[in-house]
Amino acid sequence: MRRRRNARSGGNTPPYDSDVSDEPAPLIDRERIRKQHEERKQEFRLHPERAKILQRATVHIVQNYRKEARTASFTFASDEHAPVGDGTAPSPLQYFVAAVGL
């Protein structure tokens, strides 16, 4: 289905845009991801030591069950819901559930 052009755009314009599509752009560029994956596999074959990934985090207790975590350049807070905590931030379980989807 094509969209109708704005009637105020001029008298000589056709009533429909031929370059407008109702199909949404894909959310995932599969070709780009496939190409990056193949490049990474080749890199790891040539340099197996680069395949090792190490992630570190530092966690500090702010107050009661509220904690602050730092990993790389990111900082985020966590807290338990009442009555245990104050509910000022997502709980660790909520972060975990969200991470499964990411």
pLDDT tens, 40-74? Answer: 999 999 999 988 888 999 999 999 999 999 999 99
User: Residue 90: what are its φ and ψ, rounded to 5°?
Assistant: -60, 150
* Mean pLDDT rounded to a whole number for the chain: 85
Q: Who wins on pLDDT, 6 or 63?
A: 63
Measured in whole angstroms, the distance separating CA 101 from the mean position of its chain's CA atoms is 10
> Which domain, by its residues, includes 91?
58-101
What's the number of domains the chain is made of? 1
29 within domain boundaries: no
Residue 48 placed within a domain: no
Residue 41 domain-assigned (yes or no): no
What is the token pair recorded at 1?
Answer: 């289905």
Q: How far is CA 90 from the centre of its chain?
A: 18
Residue 94 has pLDDT above 70, yes or no: yes
Q: Is residue 52 part of a domain?
A: no
User: Burial letters for 43-59: b for 16+ Cβ neighbours within 10 Å, e otherwise?
Assistant: eeeeeeeeeeeeeeeee
pTM of the predicted structure, to 2 decimals: 0.57
In a domain, 21, yes or no: no
Q: Mean pLDDT, to the nearest integer, of 10-22?
A: 58
What is the C-alpha to C-alpha distance for residues 86 and 34, in angstroms, rounded to an integer? 44
